[in-house]
Amino acid sequence: MWQNLRRMAGYYKPYMGTFLLDMFFAFLASIIALVIPLAVRYITSNLADMGTDEAVRNVIRIGIVLVVLVIIQFFSNYYITNFGHVMGAKMEYDMRAEIFAHYQKLSFSFYDEQKVGQLMSRITNDLFDISELLHHGPENIAISLIKLIGAFIILSNISGYLTLAAFILVPLMFVYAFILNKKMKRAFKNNRVKIADINTQIEDNLSGIRVVKSFANEEIEKEKFKEGNDGFLKAKRNSYFYMGFYNSGMTAFTMLINVVVIITGGILMAKGLVPVADFVAFLLYINIFTDPIKTLIDFTEQFQNGYSGFERFVEILSIEPDIEDKEGAVPLTNVRGDITFDDVSFKYKDTAHRVLRHINLSVPAGSYVALVGSSGGGKTTLCSLIPRFYEVTKGSIRIDGKDIRDVTLQSLRENIGIVQQDVYLFAGTVYDNIRYGKANATREEIIEAAKLANAHDFIMELPNGYDTDIGQRGVKLSGGQKQRLSIARVFLKNPPILIFDEATSALDNESENIVKESLERLASNRTTLVIAHRLSTIRNAQRILVLTEHGIEETGTHDELMAKDGIYAQLYRWTK
């Protein structure tokens, strides 16, 4: 916990000037709050012995001083509320940027095991609560301690007996708070998990809403959501159960302190040991004394929320990327496109089964190689190893003779273009989605890429041409249109190595022919690996590899493999 708190404190460093001023004004506002009861005590104690004119003059002077103090307190509170909150927002900004950048470093292996809703919850709800704690936490503690200590000193000077009576219950109050605090912390941490589960369920439902409606399963989805929502409510009830005991207990203790002081003060006044003016001032300070206790009650809930969120934040940041640049990695430049697999084996983390076994393969620069085989044979996995989306378990992969682990990830992936079956388009315009292939591309380059991908004509028929908004994930476009935009994106990138992962398998015949023409144009003079289920689409490949769980079992041209009448021939006849 102390290690996490020290780490949390590190986020104040860039804003130390603002933070110190925030603390100064919090101190100033607290001191002013302590002064007002002293003015009341002075008036009730001394003015009765003065003449009318003198008493009025003194009251006016005191009034002027108090108004000046109120103005100072106003500006102090304004700074705390305005600039203090902005400081908290800036720290939230820094943490959000940090965790988002960390998300970008993590490999496919991490995302294979995570839910998007859970990750979203860590970057939204958790960070808001953390920033609220970072802003209000030190400020609330400072104000509370100043008021408590200041009130204690002043109370001691007024009456030792009354002070003893006021503080006699404080140790019991803190023991009570400590016990309830531990229970609340566990409950609030559980709340975090439950709300993240709900976010996951919502994200999953909304992303798949078309599937939900096509099966008329809205009621089933409502039931699934209800189950998660019930779990969240149960967790909330548990946390509020303890919070109820905590808040009501602390309020009861503060009231008991007042009761004890009133009873003790009444007895002492009856015996002439405490003047009436001192008793009135003491009661006013008791309220100042109990007010920070209430603030600390609120802070406790805020701390539980913020700290449990920070624990989840640190949990993500502590995950080391399993694929990153090694020390001394160099950029991959002047790429020809020779690809070599040298005794490559691979298995996923969560399975002992090897997906690829002892793959030895040489793909010369500029060649067109097709990968075929039954589902689960490792075709997509093999291609995913080239840009290091996953790391080989054994062996090595080389591009132009350089081990891909010895070059920088950015330069490696900049030289590889991927066209997948499941096209992902970002929310925005057609123009923005094509430009994703090259951020600094000119409009002329983007239009040229669209023409090469056979996309220009349909784009110009859209309501706003290249500036047409295509909706979330490109829902306003057909499958063939989306695929041609993804091809245009790769044309703009202009990489020497291409990977087509079943890029036409989900299209109708007309769209497939248009996309196939675009792909063939894109593949010209580039090293190209094609994963295909429709074997008729790769008959012209220079080499076809048949990949099974045992490795590469057959290799050759279409005619050679048909003549061999082996696995490929059977697959071809079956899919024809």
| Final residue in a domain of this structure, among 276, 295, 317 | 317
pLDDT for 214: 60
Q: Which residues pair with 529 in a beta bridge?
A: 369, 499
Q: Looking at the structure, do residues 453 and 558 belong to the same domain, yes or no? A: yes
Specify the DSSP element, H or E, that contains 259.
helix 218-270
Structural domain contains residue 349: no
Q: Looking at the structure, do residues 307 and 446 belong to the same domain, yes or no? A: no
Specify the DSSP element, H or E, that contains 355.
none
DSSP secondary structure string, 358-383? EEEEEE-TT-EEEEE-STTSSHHHHH
pLDDT for 350: 58
Structural domain contains residue 406: no
> What's the structural domain count of the chain?
2
CATH of the domain at 511: 3.40.50.300
* Burial bucket for residue 71 (CB in 10 Å: 0-12, 13-18, 19+): exposed
pLDDT for 405: 93
* Burial bucket for residue 125 (CB in 10 Å: 0-12, 13-18, 19+): middle
Q: Looking at the structure, do residues 152 and 233 belong to the same domain, yes or no? A: yes
pLDDT for 508: 61
Distance CA 334, CA 415 (A): 9
Q: Radius of gyration over alpha carbons of the chain, in Å? A: 35
Q: Looking at the structure, do residues 421 and 548 belong to the same domain, yes or no? A: yes
| Final residue in a domain of this structure, among 297, 317, 337 | 317
Q: Around Cβ 300, how many Cβ atoms within 10 Å? A: 19
Structural domain contains residue 559: yes
Q: Looking at the structure, do residues 218 and 129 belong to the same domain, yes or no? A: yes
Structural domain contains residue 396: no
Structural domain contains residue 388: no
With residues binned 3-state (H G I as helix, E B as strand, rest as coil), the percentages for the chain, rounded to 5, are: 70, 10, 20
Write the single-letter amino acid at 57: R
Q: Looking at the structure, do residues 373 and 235 belong to the same domain, yes or no? A: no
Q: Looking at the structure, do residues 432 and 545 belong to the same domain, yes or no? A: yes
> Which tokens hold the place of 419?
């066209």
Which 3 state secondary structure label does DSSP give 418?
strand
Q: Spell out the per-residue pLDDT of the chain, length 576, in tens.
A: 788 888 888 889 999 999 999 999 988 988 888 887 777 777 777 766 677 788 788 888 888 988 999 899 999 989 988 998 889 889 989 999 999 888 888 888 888 777 777 788 788 778 888 888 888 888 888 888 888 888 888 878 888 888 888 888 878 887 887 788 778 877 877 777 787 777 777 777 776 776 676 667 778 778 878 887 888 788 888 888 888 888 788 888 888 888 888 888 888 888 888 888 778 778 777 777 777 777 776 787 788 888 888 888 888 888 888 888 888 899 999 999 999 999 999 988 756 566 888 889 999 999 989 998 877 778 888 999 999 988 998 999 999 999 999 999 989 999 998 888 778 888 789 999 899 888 899 999 999 988 888 888 889 999 999 999 988 778 788 888 888 888 888 888 889 998 888 766 656 666 667 777 777 787 788 898 988 877 777 777 889 998 887 888 889 998 898 999 888 888 888 766
- Residue 268 in contact with residue 159, Cβ under 8 Å? yes
| Final residue in a domain of this structure, among 301, 317, 333 | 317
Structural domain contains residue 101: yes
Q: Looking at the structure, do residues 460 and 534 belong to the same domain, yes or no? A: yes
Q: Looking at the structure, do residues 297 and 372 belong to the same domain, yes or no? A: no
CA distances in angstroms from 428 to 101, 442, 485, listed in the order given:
22, 18, 13
Which 3 state secondary structure label does DSSP give 389?
coil
Q: Give the residue numbers spanning the domain of 425.
A: 368-377+415-575
Place of tokens 């804003």: 15
Write the single-letter amino acid at 273: L
Structural domain contains residue 241: yes
> Which tokens hold the place of 505?
């398998």
pLDDT for 210: 63
Which 3 state secondary structure label does DSSP give 523?
helix
Structural domain contains residue 325: no
- Residue 111 in contact with residue 154, Cβ under 8 Å? no
Q: Looking at the structure, do residues 298 and 373 belong to the same domain, yes or no? A: no
Q: Looking at the structure, do residues 483 and 545 belong to the same domain, yes or no? A: yes
CATH of the domain at 110: 1.20.1560.10
Distance CA 518, CA 534 (A): 17
pLDDT for 541: 84
Q: Looking at the structure, do residues 564 and 453 belong to the same domain, yes or no? A: yes
- Residue 504 in contact with residue 534, Cβ under 8 Å? yes
